[in-house]
Structure 1
Amino acid sequence: MAATAIVALGGLAQAQAVFKITAIPDESPTELARKAAPLVKYLETTLGMKVEFTPVSDYAAAVEALANKQVDMAWFGGFTFVQANVRSGGKAVPLVQREEDEKFRSVFISGDPAIKGLSDLKGKTVSFGSPSSTSGHLMPRSYLMKANIDADKDFKRVAFSGAHDATIAAVAAGKVDAGALNISVWEKFVTDKKVDTDKVKVIFTTPTYYDYNWTVHADMPLAQREKLTKAFLALSPATPEGKEILELQRATRFVATKASNYDGIEAAARSAGLLK
């Protein structure tokens, strides 16, 4: 796209370009904007150009935005990365992921004292996040299947809250009997005391899998990709700027990643019939 083409020229032209980033809306718009603000500022300094965070309406819109080069970089979950890679004809390139994303997990939570494990969910109402969420739908559904539980047949009702924080709210309010979500959002709510853990408890934690990453389009010049990767890898909790960004991103540090890390996610999606 125009932005990346100008970047390739380097020099003063960079100052007139706009580097656009987006993220899957797995949390509220205000939370996403809060998390993006210091990162945008950091990337502006690193890249020497204006950086804009462009919110999208849903997960599918984030996939389309990257595949159609309407944005330069996107924050994807493992499943949305796979979708973007398929949609773009194999042109989605994951640059970095948080160290935590090498061994990510999901949790099932419930406010019903009678629900103590996955088998107790049969005949109950259960909420996932977005249909395209890795940690809020795909992987929880995958582990249900491994426990011989078919969500569509064994649950009284399947709901989709749209986001991890919304799933917690639905369970806490008793709108559903249980919910599945990203473990880092759950842990943040617990730490911030935004959920009463005497009433809402974790009933199952999944095994680990690869998840989130920052992805660019393969048409981005290699020099630009390397500059972005280096910028993320340089973030350190030892500096005030790095500490703020890493804490908001819920990251210990960023590490390099590759497309093959998400082969397991793709296999799970195809097995569950969620990727055509």
Structure 2
Amino acid sequence: MSKISLAALLAGATALTSTAAFAQDADWREEVPVFRIGLLGGENESDRLRQHACQEAYLEERLGVDVELFPASDYAGVLQGLLAGQLEFAGLGSSGYAGIVLQDETAVEPLYTTMQIDGSLGYYSVMYVRADSDIESFEDMEGRTLAFADPNSTSGYLVPSYELAQEIGPLEGYFGETGFGGGHEQAVVAVLQGQYDAGVTWTSGVGDINQGYSRGNLRSMVDRDMLNMDEIRIIWQSNLITNGPRVIRSDLPQELKDLVMGAMMSLQTEDRECFNAINDGEAMGYWPINHEFYLPIINMRRELEGQR
């Protein structure tokens, strides 16, 4: 897992924080002098760092400790970082959270998730093909090639592989070939370049389809001029998937957990531009959740891992 910190760029913001103002909380800050945030892989690393730089500055000011961003090349890097105590905080997909729970159910705590612009707490996995493809529907995918995003992605692997298997039986008997694109963004690029016939990714499923909907990988790529929605056609959509959690390590001081929760729940009103930047588009806000919210996904992942 590569490790890149932007703390030096934000030294000015940190310097504004008075040491005296945090004297009463010195104990936990001595225990956690640096708050490390894991960023999931799947898109250009410099883009991830740029989008999350505002969150780094925002939390440094409110926590009174250095905050560092750690982008991983894939989802597994962040999961391993949390389990090994090398990261304090991260945004995960539901499947990523389930993957941690199945290894160590006490490792992390889910704090909150994202609420879509329609008030829902879920999103969708969609299968897409090139707009000029002769594939008009999912039924045309028999014998064709499919790109999943990442083995630890909820919408990019777990849910589509589970739901499609219930519809068509074993995937290897239906598709000509399946593989992993290395992330949501990379899988879209692979389909556009003709390396796969189709791919799966995530989207809110609400808002303007021509903009890639309100948020999700498609919206993020449209916003960065990497994709025009006229280039692809959506041929399949999953059932609603629980939005992924922001998690914090369970063994951290409770005061730190409370400060992070309070700061992030206020982000949409204190810095709306930053809120949008780190959420891949537009959303209504954050919503507190708990472990029980993810039990269906945890059970789904447990079942699939048992089959393998």
* Class of the TM-score when normalised by the shorter of the 2 chains: 0.7 to 0.9
What is residue 257 of structure 1 aligned with on the other side?
289
**Number of paired residues?**
268
Q: Could you tell me which residue of structure 1 aligns to residue 246 of structure 2?
A: 214
2:304 paired with 1:272? yes
Letter in structure 2 aligned against 1:62? V
Distance 1:275 1:132 in 2: 16
**CA separation of 1:173 and 1:274: change in aligned 2, threshold 3 A:** farther
Structure 2 CA distance for aligned equivalents of residues 76 and 225 of structure 1: 17
The answer (yes or no) to whether the contact 1:269–1:275 under 8 Å persists in 2 is no
Is this contact kept in 2: 1:125–1:177, CA < 8 A?
A: yes
Change (3 A) 1:274 1:197: farther
Map of 1:233-252 to 2, 5 A cutoff? Answer: 233-236=265-268, 238-239=269-270, 241-250=271-280, 251-252=283-284
Task: Specify the alignment match of 1:230 in structure 2.
Answer: 262
Compare 169-178 and 211-220 and name the one that shifted more.
211-220
Structure 1 residue 17 corresponds to structure 2 residue 36: no
Shift of 1:14: 3.3
Cα drift, residue 254 of structure 1: 1.4
What is aligned with 2:78?
62
Q: Say if 2:29 and 2:65, in contact at 8 Å, map to a contact too.
A: yes
- Write the letter of the residue equivalent to 1:14: R
Residues 14 and 270 (structure 1), Cα distance of their counterparts in 2 relative to 1, 3 Å cut: closer
The equivalent of 2:172 in structure 1 is 152
Q: 8 Å contact 1:246–1:253 — kept in the other structure? A: no
Instruction: Describe the SS at the equivalent of 1:10.
Output: helix
Does residue 109 of structure 1 match 2:128? Answer: yes
Letter in 1 for 2:145: T
Match of 2:185 in 1: 165
Aligned to 1:29: 45
- In structure 2, runs of 5+ residues without a counterpart are 1-21, 204-215
Instruction: Give me the TM-score of the superposition, normalised by structure 1.
Output: 0.88
Q: Please, what is the CA RMSD of the aligned residues? A: 2.4
2:206 match: none
Contact 1:46 1:231 in 2 (8 A): yes
2:218 corresponds to which residue?
A: 186
Q: Say if 1:13 and 1:147 are closer, same or farther in 2 by CA, change over 3 A.
A: closer
Contact 1:134–1:211 (CA under 8 A) maintained in structure 2? no
| Residue ranges of structure 1 left out of the alignment (5+ in a row) | 1-6
2:189 is the counterpart of 1:174: no
Q: TM-score, normalised by structure 2?
A: 0.79
Q: Deviation at 1:82?
A: 1.1
Cα gap change, 1:226 to 1:125, in 2 (>3 Å): same
- Pick which of 245-254 and 204-213 moved more: 245-254
